Structure formats: C-alpha cells, structure tokens
Structure 1
Amino acid sequence: QSVATRMVVERERDIRSFVSEEYWHLDAVLSRIVGEGDFTARFFGTEEGKKELKSEAETNAVISAIEGKPFIIKSVKRGEKQRSPSPPFITSTLQQEASRRLGMTPRRTMSIAQQLYEGVDVAGHGTIGLITYMRTDSLRLSNEALQYAKDYIIRQYGAEYYPGSPRVYKSRSGAQDAHEAIRPTDVELSPEQVRKDLTQEQYRLYRLIWGRFTASQMANAVYNNVAIDTVSAGYVFRANFSEQKFAGYTAVYEEARDEETADLKKPLPNLNEGEEVSLKKLSSEQQFTQPPARYTEATLIRAMEEKRIGRPSTYAPTITTITSREYVVKEGKYLRPTPLGEVVTTLMEERFSDIVDMRFTARMEDDLDKIEEGASDWRAVLYDFYQVFDKELSEAEKALEGEHIKIPDEVTDEICPICGKNLVVKSGRFGRFLACPGYPECSFTKPIVIEMPGKCPKCGVRILKRTSKNGYTFYACERGKDCGFMTWDVPTKDVCPDCGKTLFKRSGRGQRKAFCVNEACKSFLPEDERGYKKKTKPAEGDGADKEQNEQAGGREENKTAAKKKTKT
C-alpha cells in the first residue's frame, strides 16, 4: 500500500515538474493530377531523415520553401501485417481490461468474477460455475480446454480461423502457476446463450472473459498497409493507411486500446512512384507536449505488475485501501494523491526508505516464494527484515517525538462568498467538504458536489449524491426542497423505454436490476417491491438543503478516514 501510494505521488511530482515544449503539425492535402483521389500527408522531415517542427518560424520556413514547388511521390510501400491475439486473462489483465472497457473498479470486477466462479443458475444446466478461479498469475491452459476451443472455433467460424496448432502462452517469471488462466469452464456456453440467466454486470464480464479466451486460440488478424512518401523542395510528407484483410481473432474479440493510431481512415488513391500530385491546401497547428497522464486503476495495476509489487489477490484491496484512507482520491477515472498521501509518502521516504522502495517489495515477494518452495527459512527472512526495520522504527520514534506534522490544505478555485478567500478541502465525519480557510473568523462550508448520471424524474435537472446526518448516502434533486425529489436508490445512465425518465437501481449488494421510479409510468416499481430487506425511514422533507452543513461534521478536522456505515 505504501509503495502503491508512492507511485501515485511520484507520478504527480512528474506532472508538476513537467516543462511543456512547443511543436507544430503541418498537413498537406494533395490530389492526383490525372484521375481522381485526394489524400492528406503530414510533414515527416527531410530526405535525410525525421525532423520535428519546434516553432512557428520553422513551420513558416517550410511553407515558404514548398510554395509553388511540385510534390513528387517518392515511394509507395505496400505490405501485409499480422496481429496476434492477446493471451487469456490473468487477474491483473482482467482488472485492467474491465476498467478500460466496462468502467468497473478492480474491486467490483473481482466481486462479479467471484459470482461467476461460485456458480450461477443456468436454465437447463442447473447451478454451474461459468469461469475458472479468478485469482491467478498463470497463462497456462489445460489440454482439454485447448481441444474444446479448437473444436468450437472450427465449427463456428471455419478452419481458416484456427491457427493450425494450439497457442501456448508463457507466464512471466515468478508466476505461481497454481491455477490456470481465467477462462470459461465450457466454451460452448457462449455469452448470448446464458445472457438471460445473468445480471447485466455478470453478462458483460463473462462476455469479456469468454471472448478473450476464445480469441486467444484463433488465427492472426491480417492487415494491408500502405505508406506513401511525397517530396517537395527536399521536404518529406508521409501518409499511412491500414485496412483489415482477414478478421481472424478480431471476429470474436479485440483488446481496448489506450491510444488511437494515427493511420488514415480514408483509403489512399492508387499512386505510383515518380507521379506528380498537386497541392490543394496546407494547414498548420500548434501543439504542446503533455505531461505523463495520472494513473487510472487499470494503469496502476499494470505498473504494479510490471514492478512485481503485490499478488493477484492484493491488487484490488490495495487500491481500495489507499483510496478509503484518503491517501489517494479518484477524479473521474484518474487517481490523484491527497495532501495527506503526499505528506505520508515523504515521511516514509525519509524514515523508512526500504519499506517504500519498489525493489525491496519485489525482493520480499521473491523471499516469500522461496519460503513456500522450502528454499528459504521463514525465521531467517523475518530476522533479516526486522533487524533493519527495528532500527529505522526506533530512529523515527525519536526524531518525531512530540512533533506535529501539519497536513497542508488542498486549495481549490472556488471562492468563499463571505470573505473572498479560496475554499480548501477538509475532511469531516462523513467525508471531504469545502471550507473557508479563514476559520474561526469565517465559518462558511459547503459540500463537495458529486453529480450522478441521469436527470431528476420530477423536474429534469441534475441529481446529486448527498450524505445524511447519520452517514447514509442518498440521491436528491439539485433544486433541493424546491423540487423535493430524493431517493436511496442509485440513478443510472439508462432511461425507461416507456416514459424516458432515468432508471434507478437498488442500493446495496445483490442482484440489482434497473427500475422506473416515475409513479405516472406503467413500469413504475413501488418502493416496497425494490428488494430491500428493511425499509428505511425517508429523509427529511427539506432533504438536500438540510444536509449541506451536516456534511462538514463540525469544524473539527479528521485526518483519519472514518468507516462508512452501510444501510441495509
């Protein structure tokens, strides 16, 4: 957890220290002189090699040089490229792909996967586990699974979609190999066959696992690539195009990509080397290099895996812990360290440098493997660790005795309406809130607004997430008592097919199917039929307005994250 927090903090430090550099794109829209067909080529450099345009002056110099000069096709390179499928899922890659493709948190992914593993009641089959064990770092597949996949692929797609022999993937060094890769227990049970027996989340995750496994045993996808270089006044402009020739494994599954490729979508005309083309238009655009992106849950897990930090069973709990303790917060899909997380990381780096050293964590994982294999004695490993740790702990206790470490406030752009100071983020009994730093002279506070998907079914404005005085989460119209709508049910991005109003889901655990709360709609589901074990007393009539000062929890700061209560 300390190392994961440090990784998020170090990424934030890199972002802050990043110095942006200017560069320019220069695009030429070119057209055949004889025949039809135009295309766009981007400045690549000179005939000696690649060159970047670093300023407007450099860009204008190129524009001036090619003005009135002919454009000649220097080279036309056509080729074929094959793309191989990704291996079946292990824990880390399942969490990454579910985050990218389905928007699921690692914790939610593992929860749904657990349900699929433990068993689902499937019509005609009874209760069966649909996937193999989901906490694994091995890419191994059983011979039986490989044979079933081969038979299914040839029967459903044709022999050309099977590569001729089973694909065998090599697990990374140090993998425990106790369990197979994550795969469907029966490839014949396609996602569509079991869809009616699954919740929406179960179906989406099963489709991901089934598709990835099936694709992992299919033939390569094949692409036709074309690269055209055209020259004017010694400057090279390049255009690339790629189109799929044979679908291969992509007929079943294609991995989500973090970045789009720069290939053109429009086919290039059939050009020949030495052919002259005419310039129709030049366009330049100023750009600036961007700092490294903050981690998402998916990219943090990938980085942890690459640095050999943690195990399949610890990725999701680690992220849950560092966010629940408010060392890290999630903004949209990105993870950002809090002032508390930065202070704790700095303190750990100064006093316990070994503990937060990524190499130390990887070495400790190796030592644990050796203990399991009987190659090392656990007493010796613990003794070596504790010798250093005990010394650092004693030194830290002496150095920090009586010292009060102030957590810096997180300053926001919002202005206090009373005194004009920038509001800061504080932590209270029920989470973070905004407050004036001028306290006690100014005691203004306000909740941090969290907008939910969907619209208020009564008046159509935003729905906000609120916290009651007892610590329970509810959802209310942003107009507060002027509208009066509030609910314990969670709004979704889906709309009712009958009335067009936002659909809601039951809060809490278990199967949650969306329902309509619009009493005028024929699909309306009364509150007592929504599956709650115990009916909860409704919030006060003035709902959202009354909660605004409650959320602050007084002016006392609480730097330790309080446990949230769970309503049943």
Structure 2
Amino acid sequence: MTKNLIIVESPAKAKTMGKYLGKGFTALASYGHVRDLIPKKGAVDTDHDFSMKYEVIEKNRKHIDVIIKAMKKADVLYLATDPDREGEAISWHLYEILKDEGLLGDKPVHRVVFHEITKGAIQKAVAEPRALSENLVNAQQARRALDYLVGFNLSPLLWKKVRRGLSAGRVQSPALRLIVEREEEIERFVEREYWTIDSEMEASGQAFRARLMMLSGERLDQFAVTDATRAAEVEARLKDGARDGHYRVRAVERKQRRRNPAPPFTTSTLQQEAARKLYFTAQRTMRTAQQLYEGVAIEGETVGLITYMRTDSVTLAQDALTEIRGVIAERFGADKLPSAPHVYKTRSKNAQEAHEAIRPTSVGRAPEDLRPFLTPEQLKLYDLIWRRTMACQMIPAVLDTMAVDLEAGPGDISRATGSVVLVPGFMTVYQEDADDKKGEEDESDRLLPDMREGERIALKEIHKEQHFTEPPPRYSEASLVKTLEAFGIGRPSTYATIIQTLQQREYVVLDKRRFKPTDVGRVVNKFLAQHFERYVDYDFTARLEDDLDAVSRGEKEWVPLLRNFWSEFHRQVSDKEDAERPGVEVLAETCPQCHKPLSKRLGRNGYFIGCTGYPECDYTRNLGEEAEAPAAEVIPDRVCPLCASPLVIKRGRYGRFIGCSNYPSCRHMEPLEKPSDTGVTCPECRQGTLLKRKSRYGKIFYSCSRYPDCKYAVWNPPLAEPCPQCGHPILTIKTTKRRGTEKVCPQKECGYSIPCPECAEGGP
C-alpha cells in the first residue's frame, strides 16, 4: 500500500486531515513557518542576485525532525499549507529542507490547495494536486528580502540618530505616518462656532423638526450663522414671517429608494466590522477566524466552520449559493429571495489567490446551534460571518422617503426629512456599520406626518443651537484598516501584524480605542519623512505592492525588482550617516542647579526637560512642568531610615514621591501613597496578594505584592471568584459605555463575561 505524507501548518488541521483521508495518509504539522533568513548581515546577498541564506527556525526544529523521519518511510509527499503566498512559501521551504536531506529522490511531490476544511473539499484537493508555484514563491521571497533590506539598514541608523532599540519597517513606517499626520492635523485644527436654527412643528397631532436651509432665497452654508446675536436675529425674522404661528408647505417630495446588501466578507471588511460591532482587534479577529477555519469539535468530529480567512475575493461558489438560497427561503421566507443570486465583483485587480469570500462552510449550521461547541468570541465572530453571508443574498431593503420644504416668510425655507422602511429585506438579518458616524441622526425610522403643498403647519417653538466644528477623529482599528487598504499599504492579511508591530514598538498607543502616536513614534516618523521620504510615501509603497503582485502573476521578475529598489535605497542610507540627530532641542532656559542650558530630549518614556551638563548634572523635569518647582514639603515626624535626615515630598519626572532631604548624599525614596491591599490572592504565584497601585502616568492597576519576584498585574479591580468557564482563580470588574459593568475573565483567550450592575455600586 502506498504511504502518503501530507503536511499542513497546524496540528488541529493535521488531526482533521488524518480523519478525512484515512489509513493511507499520515498527516503532520509544520507549526507555521519552518525557515527564515539568518538573523545577521548578509542574509540577503545584494552582490549575487540577492541570494538568500535561510536557516531552520529553532523552535520548530523538533517538528521538522518528525517530518524528516516520516518522509523516510513515505512514498508520496503532499504539501497542503495555506492557499496564499505565505502558505506557498512554507511548502517550498519544506520541499527544500527535505531535498537537502536527500529524502525526495524520484518520489512524487504534490501541492494541495483547499479553501475550506471539509471532507469533500479536502478529498477533491488531494485528487487534483498541482506543482509548487515558482511565481508565488518568488513573490514571497522578494517581499521577505525587501523587509529584511529595509529593516537591517534603517534600524541601525535609527539607533544612532534617535535611540537604541528602535526599528523601521517597509509597511509599518507608512502606517505610522498615517497616524502621526492625523494627530498633527488634529493639533492644527482651529474650531469654528456655528449655529443651527430648527423649527419645531406639529401636523395631524405629530411633532417634527425642520432645519433652516434658505434665508431670503439664499442657501445657507454651515457658517451662515456664527454667533448668538445673529441666531437671535434669524429667530425673530422667522417668528415675524410666521405671524399667525404657521409655516406654509412650499414643496413635498416623496420617493422610494433601495438599499442593497453589502458583499460577503473579505479579510479587510471582516476586520473592520469585527472592530466596529464586536470591538475585536484585528489580531483577535484573525486569531479567532483561524480557529473557526481549522475546525472545532462538534459531537466528536472536528469540523471546519468557515472558508479560508485570508482573501480579497467577494465571490461565492455555486454550491454555496444554492445552499444559502435554500436556507433563506426556509428561515426567512421565499419572498426574501431575489430572482437570481447577487453577483459581486472584486474591486482590486490584486485580489489574493483564494477563490472565495469568507463564508460559513455550511450556512445550515446556524449560530444558535453551535453555541454549546464554541467559545464566546468564536460564536460572536461566526454569527457575524453567518449573518453577513445570508444578508448578501437577500433582497434589497426599500425605504419610503419624504422631504418637505416649509416657508416662514418669503424665501425663508426650512426642510424636514424622514423615511420609513417599507420592505426590510436583508436588513432583517444584517446591517453594515460605518466609521466615525457624525452629523444628523439616522432618519430611517422617522416618518413625517402627511402634508400637502400649500397647507399651513403650526409652529410650536424655534430652537437655536450652538455648535463647534470638530477635528478629524483619530484612527480606530476599523478606520485604519480601511485607510491602509485604500492606500494599498500592505495587504489585508498583514494588517493585524502592522498594527501589532506599531504597538509593540511603542510608536502608538490606544486611547479610548483610537490610535495616538507616542513621542518616540513622532520622532521616528519625522526622521524617516525628512530623510527617507520616498520610502514612507503612500504611492511608492502601493506601487511596490503592485510590483510584488505582478511577480506572483509571473508578469515581472523578482531579482530586477530588488535590484532597482536596492541601488537607490542603499545610496540614500549611506548619505544619511551624517544626518542631524532629531529629538534634541536646546532651550534658552538655563538649569537651576548648574546654570548650563536645558534641552528638550527624547527619553524612553517620551520627551522631558534635562540639563545639557548630564551626567555631571542630573537635573530633569517633566515636559510642561513649571521651571521653578515648589520648595520641598517636609513631612512632620518622619525621618529617613538610612541617614535620619528629614523626609520631604518631592516632584520627579513621574510625579510626586517621598525622598530624603539629604539628596544626593542619600538617595532613599518611596512612593507618596502606599498601595492598598485588595485581599485577593495573586492567581500566578498563589503567595502574594493583589495591591491597588498607580502607574507613573496616574493610571490605576492591580499587581502582586511580591513584585518584582512576581510580575502578575491586571488593569481592572480583581474579584476572589474563579472563572466558571476556564477555571482561572480570579475574575475582574470591567465597565464600558457599551456593555456597562461586567464580571470578566482576565484571560483574553477565555472571553468569559457576565453582566454585574451591582458591581458598579460597590457590590461583589
């Protein structure tokens, strides 16, 4: 009997493959990437056609050894890694490793591609294998080489010019530029005052509002009324025009409009909607989607629940469309079905290689039926995907809209608008959210009373409202992903990594679910924008992505592409060795201790004011603090435990603290406030208790009393209750505007939460 070895990326997938393919197959997992460039200079040889030096990733060496051992006994090799460029590259690396071991010889090697982990899809893929794609492998090699060349050449320059430990990336740097430029736009913003004038009316016993649109026949722009005096004048004019307390209906416009459903999910739109509706990070979305794709145990069988989650395609397979239409007719009624399936076109010419949009492998598995088998976050994401898939094949919604122009005096026109849903169509299942909703309230559920031209409508009251223009909002995860896609920066499968990298490097932080650049991020962006403008340019980054896609399609050669990039980039790096160091600004102010000039400097935690005489003089203060610090406050009846000098309250870079008055001869210090004990045992070391502390930035957190021996910490107040879902020793109390106060498990992978309104009132 022929012995077949099939290799996938994850052990969960390998287990499923083994069940579906039977005894003739041995299924093993590579556990992700198996080789990478050697982590040193020269890994990409720019003098010899960019030849690349790889080595086995150490943490996966044991898995490779298992694969090598199995290949010695196998007759045929099937490479079944993920159906994208990265998956193709992993298969190629496995092939190269086994070839170097002399294990392939004349043994057949097949590349197997499938987009859902179902028995039928896997058996069909194994029956119809193909060869490894040289074009896809070359595209991935070119991408890896570019990332290496940028990182290994720009990062050392950042170490010299900004701060040790910094790094720059080919796609992360333009993404950082987006966030910094938005912050600068917000800082430059100057608010403007404007007023709106609404007339509250009543017709047929129903009250409604109309917004002033025209005055004396002239259309009003946003800033037509900019102060209270002018608003009062307009109010008086309208009242004077409606002397009998009525406006006249000048025009009524009625029409129906159709709202079409959104297409099925791609990688990008899934990340956006999961961020808007579920408050998932891009990384959490992709991790959870991977779990649904690889499969979960349902009544003793591992079942893949969604198709492959890295795709730009909005196409659905014919057999999937047939099933979707059948379930729609059964669950929601045949009247919710269009006469023919909706067909969506992929916008990007560079759509990834996956053939379908993200959808359930079977829409017959309703979310409520899977509740016993899924974690809370898996269920939430599956429900989102299921609803979007169903909605995309339902009839459009039909809305009845009405716009009424009401005239006070000649040419003074106010407009009332409203609409009502006549046919909900797809909206009964799913509606797409929008980023940064502003402006008028949603009128889809507001119906105006019936009015006719010439009719006189009673005026009840005039409302003058003051407003101020607002700056553009900071990027949320959803709006950042949308913007990255619009600019062509990276590819949807890389967005989660881009965002994670920016946060790990401490170039950006999340503030109220919005990205804000740190001082370090600003300085790095400024340096790159000044000296490497081309490489953080949005168009250049997008063109480079297009070139890599052309390589994957066989339309371009990868070595000439790298050569063109490297020649200019290498020259520019060399030229910038003598560039001025950013992040240091000498001030006119002198040091109060040694009278040398002070400077604004970039430290590990952002900007601060420090003496240019450092290290001889160690004077520092927080940026924004007054130059003349108040005199140290002596603490009555307290002396230093080291030298018996009086203890005083001092102010340092991170706020107020208690220190010895004999400084610098004695350097004793202690926190101003003692941490309070919560009485909750630390769940990690089981020895200390969790103390309420304040960070250097003033934020409250809870950490183990045995710090630094135990570094366990949580942001939310702890409860001495075990998690009923995963058994973790504690729960925490979390309060958000959207969900209120809840008991939640601090283990992110668990996802357990339960409402606890009494917790907000000092309860459990």
SS in 1 for 2:349: coil
More contact order relative to length (CA 8 Å, sep ≥ 6): 1
Pairing 1:63-462 to 2, within 5 Å after superposition: 63-70=235-242, 71-123=247-299, 126-179=301-354, 180-233=356-409, 234-258=411-435, 259=437, 261-264=440-443, 266-400=446-580, 406-407=601-602, 409=606, 419=629, 435-436=654-655
1:464 is the counterpart of 2:643 = no
Partner residue, 2:732: 491
1:25 is the counterpart of 2:196 = yes
1:60 is the counterpart of 2:232 = yes
SS in 2 for 1:256: coil
CA distance in 2, matches of 1:120, 1:410: 49
Q: Match for 1:329: what amino acid?
A: V
CA contact (8 A) 2:583 2:602 kept: no
Q: Match for 1:49: what amino acid?
A: R
Q: Match for 2:568: what amino acid?
A: V
Query: What's the CA shift string for 1:381-436, capped at 9, x where partnerless?
Result: 111101111011001113258997942745889989x9569xxxxxxxxxxx9714
CA contact (8 A) 1:116 1:202 kept: yes
CA contact (8 A) 1:99 1:105 kept: yes
How far apart are residue 477 of structure 1 and its match?
8.0
SS in 1 for 2:492: coil
1:6 is the counterpart of 2:185 = no
CA contact (8 A) 1:242 1:263 kept: no
SS in 2 for 1:82: strand
CA distance in 1, matches of 2:329, 2:291: 30
How far apart are residue 464 of structure 1 and its match?
3.2
CA distance in 1, matches of 2:477, 2:261: 23
How far apart are residue 278 of structure 1 and its match?
2.2
Partner residue, 2:169: none
Q: Match for 2:198: what amino acid?
A: D
Q: Match for 2:714: what amino acid?
A: Y
How far apart are residue 59 of structure 1 and its match?
2.0
Query: What's the CA shift string for 1:257-293, capped at 9, x where partnerless?
Result: 3326535555322211111122211110111111100
- Unaligned runs of 5+ residues in structure 2 are 1-171, 586-600, 609-621, 632-651, 676-688, 694-699, 723-727, 757-764
How far apart are residue 79 of structure 1 and its match?
1.2
Q: Match for 2:456: what amino acid?
A: E
- Unaligned runs of 5+ residues in structure 1 are 422-432, 450-457, 518-568
Q: Which has the larger radius of gyration?
A: 2
How far apart are residue 219 of structure 1 and its match?
0.4
CA contact (8 A) 2:183 2:517 kept: yes
Q: Match for 2:338: what amino acid?
A: P
CA contact (8 A) 1:436 1:444 kept: no
1:49 is the counterpart of 2:219 = yes
How far apart are residue 445 of structure 1 and its match?
7.2
CA contact (8 A) 1:137 1:177 kept: yes
CA contact (8 A) 2:420 2:446 kept: no
CA distance in 2, matches of 1:485, 1:410: 42
CA distance in 1, matches of 2:672, 2:288: 36
Q: Match for 2:504: what amino acid?
A: S
CA distance in 2, matches of 1:141, 1:304: 25
Q: Match for 1:474: what amino acid?
A: A
CA contact (8 A) 1:490 1:507 kept: no
- The total of aligned residue pairs comes to 484
* Distance 1:446-1:374 versus aligned 2 partners, 3 A rule: farther
* Distance 1:168-1:446 versus aligned 2 partners, 3 A rule: farther
CA contact (8 A) 1:99 1:297 kept: yes
How far apart are residue 187 of structure 1 and its match?
0.7
CA contact (8 A) 2:350 2:549 kept: no
Partner residue, 1:427: none
CA distance in 2, matches of 1:6, 1:168: 37
How far apart are residue 153 of structure 1 and its match?
1.1
SS in 1 for 2:287: helix
* Distance 1:382-1:476 versus aligned 2 partners, 3 A rule: closer
* Distance 1:188-1:58 versus aligned 2 partners, 3 A rule: same
How far apart are residue 506 of structure 1 and its match?
5.5
CA distance in 2, matches of 1:444, 1:323: 31
Q: Which moved more, 1:464-473 or 1:293-302?
A: 464-473
Matched-pair identity in %: 36
Q: Match for 2:361: what amino acid?
A: T
Q: Match for 1:469: what amino acid?
A: P
CA contact (8 A) 1:215 1:253 kept: yes
Q: Match for 1:63: what amino acid?
A: E
